[in-house]
Amino acid sequence: MSSVLFFLAAIGVITGATGVVVLRNPFYSVLALVIHLVSLAVLFLLLRAEFVAAVQVVVYAGAVMVLYVFVVAYVGGESDSIGERLRSRGAVGSGLRLGGAILGGAVCVELLIALLGTGLEAINGYGAGYSPGPQAYGTPAYIGKLLLTRFLLAFEVASFLLLIAAVGGVVLARRRGGLEDEDERDLLTPLEMLRPRGTGTMAEGVGRRSP
């Protein structure tokens, strides 16, 4: 049963990844990526990383893919896909594509040598000893324990990282007229926010804040 599932998922992973590269319409590429990520989640499940599998579906196949679709819609549809543009470049484009393929093939061969020709020390270690239970390796409880003990610092810093990512996103998005320019906007101070509207303040007088 596991091996059947493994081969099904593995076929999905490889087909999806190939589809991302080969398909010309970026929307289809994104959909192929969804197939890839969901199949990857099944592989995680087979590795008994249940929490990671769930996160993979929720965050990547769900949220990140929505973002990708928006980005594709924002950057423009199928008419001028990157593949087309590269193709139209002639010699440079085909050279780049050939170079990319050769480089990708070389990395693939190297990784296969590494993965197949090795002792895989971790599998001989505790990775193989699996005992089901609420505290077992890869369960949410186990990950929670790790986050609270060994990776406490990474956990807290990750929260800060997300804060900074939000700041960065807002800074960059403001440029495209998504948000108003800061100097024109003149933020309200907390005091001003508390004040009732239409009481004849200077801000209202110059039309900065409409009653």
Partner 1 sequence: MIPLATAHLKGPHIDFAGLSPLIALLGGSVLVLIVGLLGSRWIRAQAVPSLSLGALGAALGLTIWQWNAQKSIVSGALRIDDLALVLNLVLIAGAACTVLLAWRSLAAREAAHGEFHALLLSSVAGMSLLAAAQNTVALFVGLELLSIPLYVLCATELKREHSLESGLKYLIVGSVGSATLLYGLAMIYGATGTTDFAGIASALSNGSLATDPLTLTGVALCVAGLCFKSSIAPFHQWTPDVYEGAPTPVTAFMAVTTKVAAFGVFLRFFDVALIDTQVSWGPALAVLATITILVGNVGALGQSSLKRMLAYSSVAQAGYMLAGVVVSTQLGVRATVFYLAAYLFMNMAAFAVIVARERQTDLGDSIGALAGLGRERPLLAWPMTISMLALAGIPATAGFMGKFYLIDAAVSGGYTWLGVAIVVGSMISLGYYLPVIAAMWMREAPAATSPNDASVLAPTPGPLPALAGGSSELDEDGGPLSGSQPEVLVVAVLAGAATIFFGVIPQPLFDLVHGAGSGLGLF
Partner 2 sequence: MLRSYLPAIVFLVLGGAVGGAFAVLNSVIGPRRATPHKQDPYECGLPSEVKRGMRFGISFYLIAMLFILFDIEVVFLYPIAVELRAYGSYALTETIVFIVLLFVAFGYVWRRGALEWR
Interface ranges with partner 2 (CB under 8 A): 1-2, 5, 45-46, 48, 51, 55, 58-59, 62-64, 66-67, 70-71, 73-77, 79, 130, 132, 140-141, 143-145, 147-148, 152, 155-156, 158-160, 162-163, 165-167, 169-170, 173-174, 176-180, 185, 187
Contact of residue 119 among partner 1, partner 2, none (CB under 5-8 Å per partner type):
partner 1
- Going by C-alpha positions, the residue among 192, 180, 179, 191 that lies closest to residue 204 is 192
Cα–Cα distance for residue pair 31/20, rounded to 1 Å? 8
Cβ–Cβ under 8 Å, residues 198 and 204: yes
- Going by C-alpha positions, the residue among 100, 79, 24 that lies closest to residue 32 is 24
Give the binding-site size for partner 1 (rule: CB under 8 A).
42
Q: Which range in 36-44, 52-60, 90-98, 180-188 contacts partner 1 by CB under 8 A?
A: 180-188
Contact of residue 192 among partner 1, partner 2, none (CB under 5-8 Å per partner type):
none
Of 113 and 179, which CB lies nearer to partner 2 in the complex structure? Answer: 179
Contact of residue 73 among partner 2, partner 1, none (CB under 5-8 Å per partner type):
partner 2
Q: Is 126 in the site for partner 1 (CB under 8 A)?
A: yes
Of 8 and 170, which CB lies nearer to partner 1 in the complex structure? Answer: 170
Cα–Cα distance for residue pair 150/107, rounded to 1 Å? 33
Output the DSSP codes for 16-61: HHHHHHH-SSHHHHHHHHHHHHHHHHHHHHHTT-HHHHHHIIIIII
User: Phi and psi of 22, rounded to 5°?
Assistant: -85, -40
Separation in Å, CA 105 to CA 62, 102, 112, 113, 137: 30, 5, 10, 12, 34
- Within 100-119, the residues that bind partner 1 by CB under 8 A are 110-111, 113-115, 117-119
Q: Which range in 10-18, 32-40, 57-65, 150-158 contacts partner 1 by CB under 8 A?
A: 150-158
